[in-house]
Each structure stands twice: as structure tokens, then as C-alpha cells.
């Protein structure tokens, strides 16, 4: 696989689209609509017409304007087009049906959808969904797209650890071995490598099939310390301490006994069939001083490693961030409460800790006031869905973001949220069931994630040009480039 966009269609027969195109029995297979439609909705399958690819349909309004409306042109009045009633059942406030569909489209093509869909914001009524980018009225000069830099630096401490520059202002959130299929893990890791950024092992150990991606993997040290070995810590360039996660801030994890298969047990150095608890918190860390011992412990094993500290967003998140910095962290990673991919109690996701949109500016401002902001990398996650969310998070004060759910959606997750039910994910993503896991190949998965990132990068470049900036690094903390719909 090479680093380029390749069209990677859905694994399912019908992609869900905004419009539903129905071909009636009056159709005489004259194929006039194949000529009429410039979007490829209609096609001939042998002697007959194929079931319309209605997810490509841009809708009656646009087609009527351009004289390409198949319904009007069909000599047999066999076609009808309407808003797809199915999309009512798809999506939710944060990930609307249009966000899901436009993300699928980007993962398929590497481009923004041609269909008129809201691909930038959801419908949650707050935070990112109420923020908009604000552009200067005049720009000093036109910047060529090729001159725009989307890379960020992960080590700002100027110490002896690695200097790492990633080409996109994003890396991937951890998803543990056993929580998603091997193919999902490899696909994501591969896409990360092709984009010169990082994947993450999650807390479930470091499986051998990820060894080829060592230079682009982060390994996680979480409260259960599952699969953490000197050898795994030494494999990587970045080690992430997971103190808390946004989906269940302040809560531990529980891997059910039947999920602890032979392989999972071996990886986690546990016994097959016995439930595993990740406690909360680290029972060895009750202060910044304890935390520093942790960081020193990693640095003793792997002196060149960057240390990332993944924390949730309590009221005093600014104190947590500054403490983490002084304990030696290179990266402070704030995980807001509305994100996460894994199964978590609904009550925690909804109620515990603050949304990331509040945490980023709070921490950014505090680190600036303390005079250390330029010596630490601030990463945000927990509800980053689109390229525009990335830009807004950076304008609020982050250096970059971590992506999780969006990458799942690229793999055709519908966010049905039943990751834990029965045999696992019905879409073959978050499952260890061999039959379900075979629904997806690495080739397909890696390309879908690659394409999504490609589309995001293009949007980031286009927006930076409109902002008159040559580098994403210029946008950090530039809240003057944002407006909020609730404020004048």
C-alpha cells in the first residue's frame, strides 16, 4: 500500500445516503438516466438497471437547477427521489446522520461529499457545534496550498528525548488488544504510519503484529499495568500514562471474563476466563510527586522516550496539567468527557468531568500564565469528530488532537454503541469473534482511515489559507479566529 488516496467503497451493498432513489417497475432499462445523472447514481448491470447508488444523489433541488433531474427526464416516470427516511434512525446529537454519512464519504473517496451535507458540526447545541471559524477580511497575500505546513512538534522540552514531528496535527487514541479486532488495530496503525503520525496500543498489551509499526506506536501504561514490560516500553518512542479517560473519568474498567480469551489472557499476563479490573486510580499515584516517580521509572527504562500524560477534565484540570509538566511530561493529553470509543457507563459519559471545549482554553491559559506553555505539547481529545473540530480545538489552545471514534466511523461504524453486546460489533470492528473480524481486511481498513485523514488535511490546508496562516502552529490559542453563535 502506498501513501495515496484510493477509492475504497463500502463493504455493504447499499451505502446509506441523504436521498433515497427508487426505481419503479415502469423502468424499461433504457439507461437514459445513466446519461442524465452526472453523479453516477444510475448504472447498468448487464441488461438491466442496477439498484441506484442513491448515496451519491445530490437531491432534486441541485439537479433541477442544472437540468439533470432524472425523475423529470425519465420517459417512463419510473424514478422517484426523496429524503431518505432511514436517516432519522441514524446518528444522534453529537454525530448526526449527516456527519456519519459525510465521514463515510470521505473515507471512501478522500474528498468532501458532493452531496449537500453538514460535514463540519453536529447538533449538540454547544461547544464545537456553536463555534465557527472567523476569517480576516483581507489577506496580505495568497499562500499556495503546497506551502502550508500541517505538522506539529511533540517534544518541546528541549531535553535528551527524541525530537518527533508528526505530519498531521493528530494521532490516534488507544484501543486495546481484545477490544477491537486485529485487523482494526493493524489498519489504524498502518494509516498512522503512512501519515507519519502515531497509533496507540491501548492498555491491553503490545501484540506482535504491531511490531512492524514500532516507530509509529505509542504504548500505554494504564492503571491495570496489563502487558506492560520493560521490553514494550523500550520498543516505542512515546509512552502514554493513562491516568483517566474521558469516557469514564474517575472510573476503572472491567473486562468481562468471557472476553478474556486465551490470546487476551496471554497478552495481559492473566488467566483465561477470569474478569480483569483496571482500577481507578493508579494505586501508586496520589500526588504529583508520586506521578514524577512514574515518569522517572519510564525514563530509566527508555531515556529517549517522550512521556505523554493522558488525563481527564476535572474542575482543577489546570493544576493537573501543570503538575504533569513539572513531573517531566512532554505531552499533556486532555481527554474530554464526551468522547471515547470503548464501552462505558452512560452516566459517566454524560455527567462526569467537563467537556473538552472548556478544558482546552482553561489549561492553555494557565500554562501561558505559568510561563511554560511553549515547553509542553497540549493534545486534546474526547469529541473530535471533524477537521473543523481539530481547527477549533487548536484555536482554543491545543497543539493537536487525538482521534478515536472518527476513525471507527471511517471503518463504517454506525455508532450503534453495542460494542459489548453478544459476539461483539456487528460491523466487524470492535470484536474478537473470528467470523465477524473477517468482515474487514487490513488493506481496506487502512485505506479508509488514510482517506479520511487525507480529506481532513485538505480541509485544514484550505482553512489555514483562508486564515492567512502558513502553519497549523500559528493557529494555537488564536481564539480571535473563532466566533461563538451565542455571543455577538
Partner 1 sequence: MPKKYHIKPTPAAPRFIPVGRSGIIDWEEDCLKCTTCVKKRCLYDVYKNRAYDARTLVDSIDYQCKNCFSCIQNCPRGVLSKTINPEFLRMGDAYWKPDIIHNTWFQAETGRIPVSGAGYRGPFSGPGFDAMWTDMSEIVRPTRDGIHGREYISTAIDIGRKQHHIEFDASGAARIEMPPLVEIPLPVIFNPLPFGNIGISVTLSMAAAARQIGGLMYVTPETYAPFLKPFMSQLVPLIPADMDVNAPMLQGVRMVELHYAPDILAQVQRLKSHCSERVVSIRVPLNPDAKTITAALTRGGVEVVHLFADYRGNEFVDGDSPRFVKDALRDVHTHLVNECIRDEVTLIVSGGIALAEHLPKAIICGADGAAIDLPLLIALECRVCKRCVTGKSCPVELQNLDPAYGAQRIVNLMCSWWSQLIELMGAMGIRDVRRVRGEAGRAMFFEDLERDTFGAIFGGQSK
Residues 118-177 that bind partner 1 (CB under 8 A): 124-127, 129-130
> Which residues, 232 to 271, sit near partner 1 by CB under 8 A?
243-244, 247, 249-252, 254
Answer whether the bond into residue 17 is a cis peptide, omega within 30°.
Answer: no
User: Can residue 297 be called a binding residue for partner 1 (CB under 8 A)?
Assistant: no
Q: Which stretch binds partner 1 (CB under 8 A): 59-67, 107-115, 285-293, 446-454?
A: 285-293
Q: Which stretch binds partner 1 (CB under 8 A): 68-76, 88-96, 158-166, 300-308?
A: 88-96
> Which residues, 45 to 74, sit near partner 1 by CB under 8 A?
51
CA separation for the pair 95, 405 (Å, rounded): 10
DSSP structural state of residue 247: T
> Which residues, 429 to 458, sit near partner 1 by CB under 8 A?
430, 436
Is the CB of 196 or the CB of 281 nearer to partner 1? 281
Instruction: Give the Å distances, CA to CA, from 442 to 2, 20, 105.
Output: 13, 31, 19
User: Can residue 88 be called a binding residue for partner 1 (CB under 8 A)?
Assistant: yes
Choosing from 265, 285, 301, 372, the residue that interacts with partner 1 (CB under 8 A) is 285
**φ, ψ dihedrals at 26, nearest 5°:** -70, -15
**φ, ψ dihedrals at 238, nearest 5°:** -130, 130
Is the CB of 169 or the CB of 382 nearer to partner 1? 382
Q: How far is the CB of 42 from partner 1 (least distance, A)?
A: 15
The residues that bridge with 240 in the sheet, in sequence order, are 220, 308
For residue 296 the three cell numbers come to 522517572
Instruction: Give the Å distances, CA to CA, from 71 to 42, 289, 382, 486.
Output: 12, 70, 43, 41
Binding mask 339-358 for partner 1 (x = CB under 8 A): xxxxxxxxxxxxxxxxx-xx
Q: How far is the CB of 24 from partner 1 (least distance, A)?
A: 11
Q: How far is the CB of 362 from partner 1 (least distance, A)?
A: 7
CA separation for the pair 226, 205 (Å, rounded): 6
Is the CB of 232 or the CB of 313 nearer to partner 1? 313
Choosing from 77, 277, 296, 297, the residue that interacts with partner 1 (CB under 8 A) is 277
The answer to whether 363 and 261 have CB atoms below 8 angstroms apart is no
Is the CB of 101 or the CB of 194 nearer to partner 1? 101
N- to C-terminal Cα separation, the chain:
49
CA separation for the pair 168, 451 (Å, rounded): 13
Is the CB of 143 or the CB of 426 nearer to partner 1? 426
Binding mask 195-234 for partner 1 (x = CB under 8 A): ----------------------------------------
Q: How far is the CB of 85 from partner 1 (least distance, A)?
A: 5
Is the CB of 237 or the CB of 362 nearer to partner 1? 362
Q: How far is the CB of 424 from partner 1 (least distance, A)?
A: 8
Choosing from 311, 398, 467, 469, the residue that interacts with partner 1 (CB under 8 A) is 311
The residues that bridge with 22 in the sheet, in sequence order, are 80
CA separation for the pair 78, 452 (Å, rounded): 36
Choosing from 71, 79, 81, 95, the residue that interacts with partner 1 (CB under 8 A) is 95
Is the CB of 180 or the CB of 193 nearer to partner 1? 180
Is the CB of 10 or the CB of 80 nearer to partner 1? 10
**What is 278-306 written as a DSSP string?**
E-SS-TT-SSHHHHHHHHHHHHHH-TT-E
CA separation for the pair 143, 140 (Å, rounded): 9
Q: What is the dihedral of CA 24, 29, 31, 37, to 10 degrees?
A: 10
Number of residues counted as binding partner 1 (CB under 8 A): 98
> Which residues, 413 to 432, sit near partner 1 by CB under 8 A?
413-423, 426-427, 430
Q: How far is the CB of 128 from partner 1 (least distance, A)?
A: 9
**How many Cα atoms occupy the beta-carbon half-sphere of 214 within 13 Å?**
10
CA separation for the pair 180, 103 (Å, rounded): 20
Binding mask 9-38 for partner 1 (x = CB under 8 A): -x-xxxxx----------------------
Is the CB of 112 or the CB of 343 nearer to partner 1? 343
**φ, ψ dihedrals at 379, nearest 5°:** -115, 140
Is the CB of 107 or the CB of 251 nearer to partner 1? 251
For residue 194 the three cell numbers come to 503512512
CA separation for the pair 404, 398 (Å, rounded): 17
**How many Cα atoms occupy the beta-carbon half-sphere of 149 within 13 Å?**
10
Amino acid at each position: 500500500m502506498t501513501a495515496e488516496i484510493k477509492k475504497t467503497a463500502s463493504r455493504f451493498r447499499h451505502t446509506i445516503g441523504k436521498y433515497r432513489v427508487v426505481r419503479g417497475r415502469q423502468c424499461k432499462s433504457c439507461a437514459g438516466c445513466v446519461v442524465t445523472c452526472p453523479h453516477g447514481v444510475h448504472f447498468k448491470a448487464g441488461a438491466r438497471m442496477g439498484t441506484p447508488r442513491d448515496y451519491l444523489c445530490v437531491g432534486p433541488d441541485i439537479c433541477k437547477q442544472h437540468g439533470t433531474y432524472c425523475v423529470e427526464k425519465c420517459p417512463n416516470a419510473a424514478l422517484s427521489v426523496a429524503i431518505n427516511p432511514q436517516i432519522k434512525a441514524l446518528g444522534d446529537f453529537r454525530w448526526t446522520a449527516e456527519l456519519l454519512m459525510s465521514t463515510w464519504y470521505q473515507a471512501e473517496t478522500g474528498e468532501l461529499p458532493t452531496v449537500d451535507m453538514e460535514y463540519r458540526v453536529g447538533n449538540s447545541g454547544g461547544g464545537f457545534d456553536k463555534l465557527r471559524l472567523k476569517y480576516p477580511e483581507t489577506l496580505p497575500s495568497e499562500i499556495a496550498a503546497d506551502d502550508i505546513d500541517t505538522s506539529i512538534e511533540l517534544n518541546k522540552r528541549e531535553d535528551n528525548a527524541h525530537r518527533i514531528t508528526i505530519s498531521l496535527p493528530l494521532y490516534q487514541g488507544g484501543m486495546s488488544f481484545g477490544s477491537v479486532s486485529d485487523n482494526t488495530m493493524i489498519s489504524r496503525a498502518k494509516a498512522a504510519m503512512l501519515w507519519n503520525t502515531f497509533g496507540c496500543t491501548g492498555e491491553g498489551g503490545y501484540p506482535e503484529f504491531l511490531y512492524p509499526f514500532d516507530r509509529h506506536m505509542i504504548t500505554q501504561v494504564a492503571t491495570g499495568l496489563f502487558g506492560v514490560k520493560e521490553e514494550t516500553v523500550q520498543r516505542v518512542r512515546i509512552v502514554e500514562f493513562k491516568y483517566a479517560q474521558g469516557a469514564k473519568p474517575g472510573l476503572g474498567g472491567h473486562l468481562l471474563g468471557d472476553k478474556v480469551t486465551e490470546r487476551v489472557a496471554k497478552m495481559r499476563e492473566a488467566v483465561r476466563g477470569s474478569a480483569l479490573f483496571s482500577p481507578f486510580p493508579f494505586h501508586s499515584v496520589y500526588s504529583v510527586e508520586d506521578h514524577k516517580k512514574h515518569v522517572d521509572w519510564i525514563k530509566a527504562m527508555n531515556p529517549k522516550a517522550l512521556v505523554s500524560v493522558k488525563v481527564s477534565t476535572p474542575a482543577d484540570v489546570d493544576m493537573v496539567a501543570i503538575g504533569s509538566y513539572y513531573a517531566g511530561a512532554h505531552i499533556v493529553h486532555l481527554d474530554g468527557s464526551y468522547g471515547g470509543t470503548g464501552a462505558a457507563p452512560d452516566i459517566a459519559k454524560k455527567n462526569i468531568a467537563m467537556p473538552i471545549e472548556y478544558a482546552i482554553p482553561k489549561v492553555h491559559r494557565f500554562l501561558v500564565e505559568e510561563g511554560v506553555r511553549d515547553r509542553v505539547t497540549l493534545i486534546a481529545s474526547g469529541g473530535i469528530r471533524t477537521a473543523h473540530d481539530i481547527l477549533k480545538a487548536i484555536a482554543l489552545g491545543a497543539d493537536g488532537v487525538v482521534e478515536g471514534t472518527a476513525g471507527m466511523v471511517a471503518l463504517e461504524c454506525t455508532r450503534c454503541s453495542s460494542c459489548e453486546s453478544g459476539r461483539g460489533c456487528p460491523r466487524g470492528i470492535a470484536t474478537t469473534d473470528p467470523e465477524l473480524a473477517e468482515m474487514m481486511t487490513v488493506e481496506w481498513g487502512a485505506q479508509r482511515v488514510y482517506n479520511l485523514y487525507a480529506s481532513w488535511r485538505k480541509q485544514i490546508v484550505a482553512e489555514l489559507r483562508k486564515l492567512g496562516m502558513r502553519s497549523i502552529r500559528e493557529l494555537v490559542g488564536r481564539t480571535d479566529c473563532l466566533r461563538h453563535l451565542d455571543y455577538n
